[in-house]
Structure 1
Amino acid sequence: MTSPVRRVTIGCVLGAVLTTVAACGTAPVPQRAERPPALPSAVPSRPPTLAPGPTGLTPVFRNGPRTPDKTVALTFDADMTAGQGGRAARGERFDHPRLIASLRALKVPATVFMTGRWAEEYPVQARSIGRDPLFEVANHSYSHYAFTEDCYGLPTIADNGSGSGSEARMRADVERAFTAFRAVGVPHAMPYFRFPGGCYDRRALRALSTAGVTAVQWDVVSGDAFATDADAVAREVLDGVRPGSVVVMHCTRSAAPATERAVRTIVPALRERGFRFVKVSELIGATGGRR
């Protein structure tokens, strides 16, 4: 197999523990964004993306410009695998209403990387997030199956042995997520993609080169997965944030129980330092399309 180009350790997925991961969502609560658009549904007609690499590979974005304009993007992964429907049917919840409600109450713009399977399970909540100008929805795959081998125990997208089959399945999985978003009424999903587990290699970047997406990673790991100490999570973020940072967090009640409390510490502390919260699209736009 192709050696990984970059693999970042995060708490989003730790082996088979993903089966316990929950996701985010809540009924809409009217709030204003820090910098509200002219119209509630206004979005760029052509969202900013990065230019492909010199060999045509999918571009990868990790952080915005390190400029005096102190912007930071909080991102939240809404994970649900293709195989968790039975657990949801038996009453297991994969949402976190308090986290989304807190972001709204604090007026914090955020980017939610959502799986298509989660959108299908919680269509009302997906639509609420997707139509709220405070947030933007981006693609986190349909199935949350890994795009490389050995990715924290995640199931992998099947390969027929030659590699060509898996590349087609990778593209199909991404497109299926966008289809799921449209089906539940998310009107403007962004052309951004986060690899499950953050795991990718050259073959995965090649597979998605025709999908028109920018792969979005991060430069600050919150360490919120399975953390119970909200202060420790907040310290990880506050110690790591720089101008232009992308912070990876999780909106999960069962697997990231301290996140909502940590956010209520992180937000005022960063604002006190002069930081302004933005969506990933604003950070990418600030690059002028340059990698």
Structure 2
Amino acid sequence: MITLVRRATALCVLGAALAACGTTGAEQAPRPAPSAPDPSPSPSSSARTPTLAPGPAGLTPVFEHGPRTGGTKDGKPVALTFDADMTADQGPRAASGERFDNPGLITALRELKVPATVFMTGRWAEEYPDEARSIGRDPRFEIANHSYSHYAYTDDCYGLPTVPKERMRPDLERAYTAFEKAGVPNPMPYFRFPGGCYDKTALEELSATGVTAVQWDVVSGDAFATDADAVTRQVLDGARPGSVVVMHCTRSAAPVTEEVVRSVVPELRRRGYRFVKVSELVGAANGHA
């Protein structure tokens, strides 16, 4: 469940897809960044936001899935997560009409009453502040950090530009600054590495922020997919109690995700699953319900 040091490689389809889209360019100079994100709960929460204890030598802990206990009488828990990706240099593409958001997907989740965790880049929050604020203020969702730039925290990560070692923490913190400016309340102390790529150096550099790195154990394959049925089958075949499913909230890069969600949700419910946020799975991993 907790991987101390490794690199997630073949799992991240979107990282490769973004590389194919030509994401290049130098990282922008950061704005003044806040200190480590405040892990205090939202007003509706009655307990401190769960995180994992640091790994050996204080390394940032890594979470991949919750307990495989089969769930409770309420159902087997599974978390749908959505990466809201936009890299730091994609402003001109957005200005020309490319859509990196997906309002239809968010509407579908609301209609189906599905809790979800959205891993958002700071650049996405800057481009779509009204949507970021709306998602963040909806108690059904929680927003977590996917970096500011969506540049890789290791070398050789699907062709993504690389954040230098000394810029890793500022890049993460700059995302929280963007969330605050957009009006997102109480973003979670969870971080998803761009491309899913990390190594010991990255875990060391982020250790002072207090975040828990969140990976996944089910790859939906929705990035640039055109066959919604194939993506649906992949999610249904991979889901297990405690699973974290990675999908995307990026209309141009994942055009069939809304359709997939509308198929996957009722079928997983029929199979006895219930949908939870990542925070519930992390809490369960800590021995809390």
| TM-score above 0.5 | yes
TM-fit CA distance, 1:44: 5.0
**Residues 89-110 of structure 1, C-alpha deviation per residue, up to 9 Å, x if partnerless?**
2222211111110000000000
Distance 2:241 2:70 in 1: 7
* Structure 1 equivalent of residue 70 of structure 2: 68
Distance 2:21 2:112 in 1: 29
**Residues 172-220 of structure 1, C-alpha deviation per residue, up to 9 Å, x if partnerless?**
0000001111111101100000000000000000000001000000000
Q: How does 1:1-291 map to 2 (within 5 A)?
A: 5-9=6-10, 10-14=12-16, 16-18=19-21, 41-43=43-45, 46-69=48-71, 70-158=76-164, 166=165, 168-288=166-286
- AA aligned to 2:217 is D
TM-fit CA distance, 1:254: 1.6
**Residues 51-105 of structure 1, C-alpha deviation per residue, up to 9 Å, x if partnerless?**
0012110000000001121100000000001101122222222111111100000
Distance 1:126 1:63 in 2: 25
Distance 1:44 1:12 in 2: 35
Distance 1:214 1:261 in 2: 30
Conserved in 2, the CA contact under 8 Å of 1:138 and 1:192? yes
Conserved in 1, the CA contact under 8 Å of 2:100 and 2:253? no
Distance 1:212 1:248 in 2: 23
- AA aligned to 1:16 is A
**Residues 16-57 of structure 1, C-alpha deviation per residue, up to 9 Å, x if partnerless?**
23558xxxxxxxxxxxxxxxxxxx951355210000012110
Distance 1:183 1:257 in 2: 28
What stretches of structure 2 of length at least 5 have no aligned partner?
Answer: 24-41
The DSSP-based 3-state class of the residue aligned with 2:223 is coil
Conserved in 1, the CA contact under 8 Å of 2:85 and 2:120? yes
- AA aligned to 1:5 is R
- AA aligned to 1:59 is P
Report percent identity of matched pairs. 72
TM-fit CA distance, 1:268: 0.4
What stretches of structure 1 of length at least 5 have no aligned partner?
Answer: 21-39, 159-165
Aligned length: 260
Distance 2:53 2:21 in 1: 32
Conserved in 2, the CA contact under 8 Å of 1:71 and 1:277? yes
The DSSP-based 3-state class of the residue aligned with 1:277 is strand
TM-fit CA distance, 1:119: 0.3
| TM-score, normalisation: structure 2 | 0.86
| TM-score, normalisation: structure 1 | 0.86
Distance 1:81 1:259 in 2: 20
Task: Label 1:275 to 1:118 Cα distance change in 2 as closer, same or farther (>3 A).
Answer: same
Conserved in 2, the CA contact under 8 Å of 1:43 and 1:188? no
Distance 1:68 1:96 in 2: 32
* Structure 2 equivalent of residue 26 of structure 1: none
Task: Label 1:169 to 1:85 Cα distance change in 2 as closer, same or farther (>3 A).
Answer: same
CA RMSD for the aligned pairs? 1.6
- AA aligned to 1:8 is T
Deviates more, 1:4-13 or 1:200-209: 4-13
**Residues 230-279 of structure 1, C-alpha deviation per residue, up to 9 Å, x if partnerless?**
11001001001100000000112221111111111110010001100000
